[in-house]
A and B are shown apart, each in its own frame.
Chain A
Amino acid sequence: MKMKPRLIPFAVAAMMALVPSLRTRAAAAGGAATPSHVYAISGAKVVTLAGPPVEHGTVVIRDGKIAAVGASVEVPADAQMIDGKGLEVYPGLFDAVTDLGLTEVEAVNATVDTADVGTYNPQLVAMTAVHPASELIPVARTNGITHALAAPLGGGGFRGGGEVISGQASAINLAGWTIEDMLIRRSVAMVVNWPSLQTRSFDLSTFSLRERPFTEVKQEYDKKINELADWMERARHYAQVMDKGSIANYDRDLKLEALAPVVRGQLPLLVIAEDKREIRSAVEFCDKQKLKMILGGGSESYKVKDLLAAKHIPVILGPTQSLAEDEDASYDQSYVTAGQLAAAGIKIAFASFNASFARRLPYQAANCVPYGLPYQEALKAVTLYPAQILGLADQLGTIEPGKMADLIVTDGDPLAIPTQVRYLFINGELTPTDNKHLRLYEEYRKRYQAPK
Chain B
Amino acid sequence: MKRALENGDFLPLCCQRGFSSLRSYRWLNKKIGSKLLPFEIAAVLFLAVCAVRGQAADVTLIKNGTILTVTKGTIENGNVLIRDGKIAEVGKGLTAPAGAKVIDATGQYVMPGIIDCHSHIAIAGGVNEGSVSVSSMANIADVLNPEDIDIYRDLAGGVTAANILHGSANSIGGQTEVIKLRWGKPAKDLPFEGALPGIKFALGENPKRSGFSNPGAARRYPATRMGVMDVIREAFSEALDYKKAWDQYNRRKAAGEPNLIPPRRDLKLEPLLEVLEDRRLVHIHCYRADEILQMIRVAEEFHFRVATFQHVLEGYKVADEIAKHGAGGSTFSDWWAYKMEAFDAIPYNAALMTERGIVVSVNSDDASEATHLNQEAAKSMKWGGLSHDEALKLVTLNPAIQVRIAGRVGSIETGKDADIDIYDKDPLSVYAVAQKVLIDGQVYFDRQQDIAHRAGLEKEKKALMEKEKKAAEAAKPAATGRRPGPPGTARPPGTTPKPQEI
Interface size class of A (residues with CB under 8 A): 35 or more
Say yes or no: A444 contacts B317, CB within 8 Å.
Answer: yes
Question: Which of B156, B339, B488, B497 lies in contact with A297, CB distance below 8 A?
Answer: B497
Tell me which of A332, A418, A437, A441 contacts B378 (CB under 8 A).
A418
Given the interface contacts A327-B491, A416-B430, does A322 sit within 8 Å of B497 by beta carbon? yes
What 16 new A-B contacts, CB under 8 Å, besides A369-B431, A441-B316? Answer: A6-B385, A105-B338, A105-B343, A108-B339, A202-B493, A215-B485, A323-B153, A323-B367, A323-B368, A323-B371, A328-B461, A331-B153, A355-B337, A367-B375, A369-B430, A418-B378
Pairwise interchain contact B431-A331, C-beta atoms closer than 8 A: no
B492 interface neighbour in A215, A327, A330, Cβ under 8 Å: A327
Chain B: minimal CB distance from A97 (Å): 11
Specify which chain A residues have a CB less than 8 angstroms from the CB of B367 in the assembled complex.
323
> Residue A314 at the B interface, CB < 8 A?
no
Smallest CB gap from A366: residue in B: B430
**A214, B355: Cα distance in complex, Å:** 55
For B496, the closest partner residue in chain A by CB is A158
From known contacts A105-B337, A321-B372, infer whether A417 and B494 are also in contact, taking CB-CB under 8 Å. no
**Can you give 10 A-B contacts (C-beta < 8 A)?**
A158-B496, A318-B497, A321-B368, A321-B372, A323-B494, A327-B492, A370-B424, A418-B378, A440-B316, A444-B352
Chain A, 99-154, CB within 8 A of any chain B CB: 104-108, 135-136, 139
Chain B proximity of A62: nearest CB distance (Å) = 32
Tell me, yes or no, whether B212 is within 8 Å of chain A by CB: yes
Shortest Cβ distance from residue A411 to the other chain B in the assembled complex, whole angstroms:
11
Contact A447 B352 (CB under 8 A): no
Interface of A is mostly: loop
Q: Across the interface, do B352 and A415 meet the contact criterion of CB distance under 8 Å? A: no
Question: Quick one: CB contact mask for B317-340 with A, threshold 8 Å, 1 for yes?
Answer: 101100000000000001111111
Which residues of B are found within 8 Å of A323, using beta-carbon distances? Answer: 150, 153, 367-368, 371, 494-495
Whether A108 pairs with B340 at a CB distance below 8 angstroms is yes
Most buried by B among A4, A363, A420: A363
Q: Flag if B375 contacts A8 (CB, 8 Å).
A: no
Evaluate contact between A107 and B339: CB separation under 8 angstroms. yes
Do the beta carbons of A366 and B149 come within 8 Å of each other? no
Once A323-B150, A328-B461, A331-B153 are accepted as A-B contacts, the answer to whether A8 and B337 lie under 8 Å apart by CB is no
Instruction: Please tell me if A289 contacts chain B, counting CB pairs below 8 Å.
Output: no
Does the CB pair A214–B344 fall under 8 Å? no
User: With A6-B385, A7-B385, A363-B375 given, is the CB distance from A106 to B430 under 8 Å?
Assistant: no
User: CB within 8 Å of B: which of A310-325?
Assistant: 318-319, 321-325
Given contacts A105-B338, A418-B381, A437-B347, contact A205 B215 (CB under 8 A): yes
Q: Are B319 and A357 in contact (CB under 8 A)?
A: no
Q: In the assembled complex, how far is the CB of residue A443 from the closest CB belonging to chain B, in whole angstroms?
A: 9
Task: Give the CA-CA distance A200 to B485 in the complex, in Å.
Answer: 15
Contact yes or no, A5 B149, CB < 8 A? no
A440 vs B315: C-alpha distance when bound (angstroms): 12
Bound together, the chains give a CA A370 to CA B372 distance in angstroms of 14
- Contact partner of A420 (CB less than 8 A), chosen from B342, B382, B461, B485, is B382
**Does B498 touch A at the CB level, under 8 Å?**
yes
User: Assuming A331-B153, A448-B356, is B337 touching A104 (CB within 8 A)?
Assistant: yes
B236 CB, nearest partner CB in chain A, Å:
29
Cβ of A299 < 8 Å from any Cβ of B?
yes
Interface 0/1 of A332-343, CB less than 8 Å to B: 100000000000
Answer whether residue B211 sits at the interface, using C-beta atoms and an 8 A cutoff.
yes
Q: Which residues of B contact A107 (CB under 8 A)?
A: 205, 211, 338-340
Among residues of B, the one whose C-beta sits closest to the C-beta of A204 is: B212
Taking a contact as CB atoms under 8 Å apart, the answer to whether B488 and A199 are in contact is yes
The reply to whether B385 and A4 contact each other, CB–CB distance below 8 Å, is yes
Q: With A157-B496, A322-B498, A323-B150 given, is the CB distance from A416 to B348 under 8 Å?
A: no
Report yes or no: A135 in contact with B337, Cβ–Cβ below 8 A. Answer: yes
Closest 10 CB pairs of A and B: A6-B385, A5-B385, A107-B339, A356-B337, A366-B430, A325-B494, A437-B346, A441-B348, A331-B156, A318-B497
Instruction: Fill in one digit per residue for A369-385: 1 if any B CB lies within 8 Å of its CB, else 0.
Output: 11100000000000000
Decide if B201 is an interface residue (CB 8 Å cutoff): no
Q: Quick check: B378 and A206 within 8 Å, CB to CB?
A: no
Q: Which B389-446 residues have C-beta < 8 A from chain A?
A: 424, 428-433
B379 touches A441 (CB 8 A): no
A:166-215 near B, CB below 8 Å: 198-200, 202, 204-207, 209, 211, 213-215
Counting CB contacts under 8 A, is B489 at the interface? yes
CB-defined contacts of A5 to chain B, threshold 8 Å: 381-382, 385-387
B153, A8: Cβ atoms closer than 8 Å: no
Q: Is B214 engaged at the interface, CB distance under 8 Å to the other chain?
A: yes
Set of chain B residues within 8 Å of A359, measured between Cβ atoms = 334
Let me know if A106 and B339 touch, CB within 8 A. yes
- Contact B334 A360, beta carbon cutoff 8 Å: yes
A206 touches B431 (CB 8 A): no
Q: Find out whether the CB atom of B382 lies under 8 angstroms from the CB atom of A370.
A: no
In the complex, are the beta carbons of A105 and B340 less than 8 A apart? yes
Residues of chain B lying within 8 A (CB to CB) of residue A324: 494
Residue in A closest to B212 when the chains form the complex, CB atoms: A207
Known interface pairs A8-B385, A105-B339; A353-B372 also in contact (CB < 8 Å): no
Q: Chain B residues near A444 (CB, 8 Å)? A: 316-317, 352
Interface string of B277-321 (1 = CB under 8 A from A): 000000000000000000000000000000000000000110110
Contact B385 A354 (CB under 8 A): no
Contact assessment for B375 and A299 in the assembled complex, using a CB-CB cutoff below 8 Å: no
A417 near B337: Cβ-Cβ < 8 Å: no
Would you call A330 and B454 a contact (CB within 8 A)?
Answer: yes
Question: Is A445 part of the contact surface with B, judged by Cβ < 8 Å?
Answer: yes
Bound state CA distance, A108 and B212, in angstroms? 11
Q: Are A356 and B368 in contact (CB under 8 A)?
A: no
Quick check: is B109 within 8 A (CB to CB) of the other chain? no
Assembly CA distance A349 to B223 (angstroms)? 44
* Whole-angstrom CA separation of A122 from B352 in the bound complex: 47
Q: What residues of B have a CB within 8 angstroms of the CB of A135 in the complex?
A: 337, 343
Whole-angstrom CA separation of A304 from B494 in the bound complex: 20
For the complex, give the distance between the alpha carbons of A420 and B149 in Å: 36
Q: Residue of B at shortest CB range from A4?
A: B385
- Nearest neighbor of A318 in chain B, beta-carbon distance: B497
**Docked CA distance A420–B383 (Å):** 10
B450 within 8 A of A: yes
Distance A296 CA – B67 CA, assembled complex (angstroms): 42
- Contact check, B498 vs A417: say whether CB atoms are below 8 A apart: no
| B residues less than 8 Å from A353 (CB atoms) | 497-498
Which residue of A8, A327, A356, A371 contacts B336 across the interface (Cβ within 8 Å)? Answer: A356
Contacts of B381 in A (CB 8 A): 5, 417-418
Separation of A21 and B434 alpha carbons in the complex (Å): 47
Q: Quick one: CB contact mask for A398-419 with B, threshold 8 Å, 1 for yes?
A: 0000000000000000011111
Bound complex: CA A139 to CA B338 (Å):
14
Given contacts A107-B338, A213-B485, A370-B431, whether A322 and B495 have CB atoms under 8 Å apart is yes
B486 at the interface (CB under 8 A from A): yes
Are A207's CB and B214's CB within 8 A?
A: yes
- A138 CB, nearest partner CB in chain B, Å: 12
Among A4, A139, A371, the one with the most B-chain Cβ atoms within 10 Å of its Cβ is: A139
| Cβ–Cβ contact A417 & B430, under 8 A | yes
